[in-house]
């Protein structure tokens, strides 16, 4: 529903905006071009009322180009001339600027089978030009004020009578009185102005459509930006909500990681100790093997030199080894039983049993002879 309402409002805005622009364009186009001071001048600069066919004169006019909105720095407009009565002798004419040393230019140009038009360049704010077109009349006519049109604006020449080229000067005074414009000239001028108005209306509609499209695009972009910002904010809110949990999770792995590092270090130390003990054992075994090898070599050498002495030595070494393997000296039973006090030795003098506070003698003097 909201989208439909927006579309309806956009259509209404477009229609009324187009109509408004069209009315402004049809009512007055002086904001862009102004036409004034239209007249015919002879070679002496006078404004004649009677001229002859094929006689050269100058069609003068003042044209002002306005660039108030900054969009009219360069452009062109069509121009209408009563070509059934006169012709311009040059295809291209450059107008004179009212301000010397200016970059602004205005050029009249008439191409074959095309409407005459004016082209301007480098008009920053406003520029006024004096356009002088060399012309000559091609047909006779009674006194009439011929129209000139630039875009939708029209101005009129002073009333002119055009006589045949062979007319004597004394006969010029007998020229006819002023009459209305011929139907063909009137129709041609009307058609031209209506075409310019239609063109301006079409241009205004295009500009309004472009402005509406630009506004719609800007509105759509703003809506998209707002939606994107909202999504971004929602994502940020979710991320902020998860942050405490993520912080806790990040701390827990750190603790576990420290414990794992401690365990790994302990394992590494144990492995080092085990490896060191293994190396010590290997060194001890190697030393014992080397000692045994030396002893075997010594024994073998002794056997070779003196078998008997070697045997005795071997026995002696065996006794010494056995003695070394024993932790304590053996006990001599005879010495243990020896009577140190001049009496016969015994294991014990008597045996008695004590029970409930009563001592009973069982045996006395176990002698060993």
| Neighbour count for residue 313 (Cβ, 10 Å) | 15
Find out whether 93 and 133 touch, Cβ atoms under 8 Å: yes
Find out whether 11 and 212 touch, Cβ atoms under 8 Å: no
Cα separation, 164 vs 310, whole angstroms: 173
Q: Residue with structure tokens 């270090």?
A: 265
The closest of 11, 21, 15, 74 to 200, measured between CA atoms, is 21
Strand partners, 58: 41, 134
pTM: 0.50
Per-residue pLDDT of the chain (369 residues; tens, 9 = 90+): 544 455 544 545 544 554 444 444 444 445 689 999 999 999 898 999 999 999 999 999 999 999 888 788 899 999 999 998 999 999 999 999 988 878 999 999 998 888 899 999 999 889 999 999 999 999 988 888 999 999 989 999 999 988 888 877 666 655 555 456 777 888 888 888 898 888 888 888 888 898 899 999 999 999 999 999 999 998 888 888 887 777 766 665 656 677 888 888 888 888 888 888 888 888 888 888 888 888 888 877 777 776 555 555 555 555 555 555 555 555 555 565 555 555 554 555 666 777 777 777 665 555 555
Q: Give burial (CB, 10 Å; 0-12/13-18/19+) of 279.
A: exposed
**Three-class secondary structure of residue 220 per DSSP:** helix
CA distances from 246 to 58, 239, 240, 251, 253 (A): 91, 10, 10, 9, 11
Q: Does domain 29-204 have CATH number 3.40.1030.10?
A: no
């Amino acid at each position: 529903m909201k989208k439909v309402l927006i579309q309806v409002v956009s259509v209404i805005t477009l229609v009324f905006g187009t109509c408004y622009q069209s009315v402004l364009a049809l009512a007055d186009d002086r904001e862009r071009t102004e036409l004034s001071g239209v007249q015919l001048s002879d070679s002496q600069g006078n404004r004649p009322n009677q001229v002859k066919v094929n006689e050269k004169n100058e069609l003068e006019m003042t044209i002002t180009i306005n660039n108030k909105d900054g969009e009219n720095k360069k452009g062109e407009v069509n121009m209408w001339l009563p070509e059934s009565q006169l012709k311009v002798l040059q295809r291209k004419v450059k107008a004179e600027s009212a301000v010397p040393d200016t970059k602004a230019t205005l050029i009249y140009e008439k191409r074959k089978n095309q409407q005459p038009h004016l082209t301007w360049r480098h008009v920053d704010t406003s520029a006024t030009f004096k356009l002088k077109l060399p012309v000559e009349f091609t047909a006779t006519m009674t006194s009439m004020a011929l129209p000139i049109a630039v875009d939708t604006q029209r101005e009129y020449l002073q009333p002119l009578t055009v006589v045949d080229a062979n007319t004597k000067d004394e006969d010029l005074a007998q020229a006819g009185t002023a009459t209305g414009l011929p139907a063909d000239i009137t129709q041609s001028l009307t058609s031209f102005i209506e075409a310019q108005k239609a063109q301006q209306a079409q241009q205004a509609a295009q500009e309004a459509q472009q402005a509406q499209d630009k506004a719609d695009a800007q509105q759509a972009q703003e809506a998209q930006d707002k939606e994107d910002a909202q999504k971004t904010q929602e994502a940020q809110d979710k991320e902020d909500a998860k942050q405490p949990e993520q912080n806790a999770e990040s701390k827990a792995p750190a603790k576990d990681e420290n414990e794992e590092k401690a365990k790994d270090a302990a394992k590494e130390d144990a492995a080092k100790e085990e490896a060191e003990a293994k190396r010590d054992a290997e060194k001890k075994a190697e030393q014992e093997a080397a000692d045994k090898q030396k002893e075997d070599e010594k024994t073998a050498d002794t056997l070779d030199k003196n078998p008997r002495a070697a045997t005795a030595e071997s026995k002696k070494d065996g006794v010494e080894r056995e003695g070394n393997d024993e932790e304590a000296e053996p006990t001599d039973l005879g010495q243990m039983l020896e009577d140190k006090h001049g009496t016969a030795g015994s294991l014990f003098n008597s045996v008695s049993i004590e029970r409930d506070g009563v001592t009973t003698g069982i045996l006395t003097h176990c002698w060993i002879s």
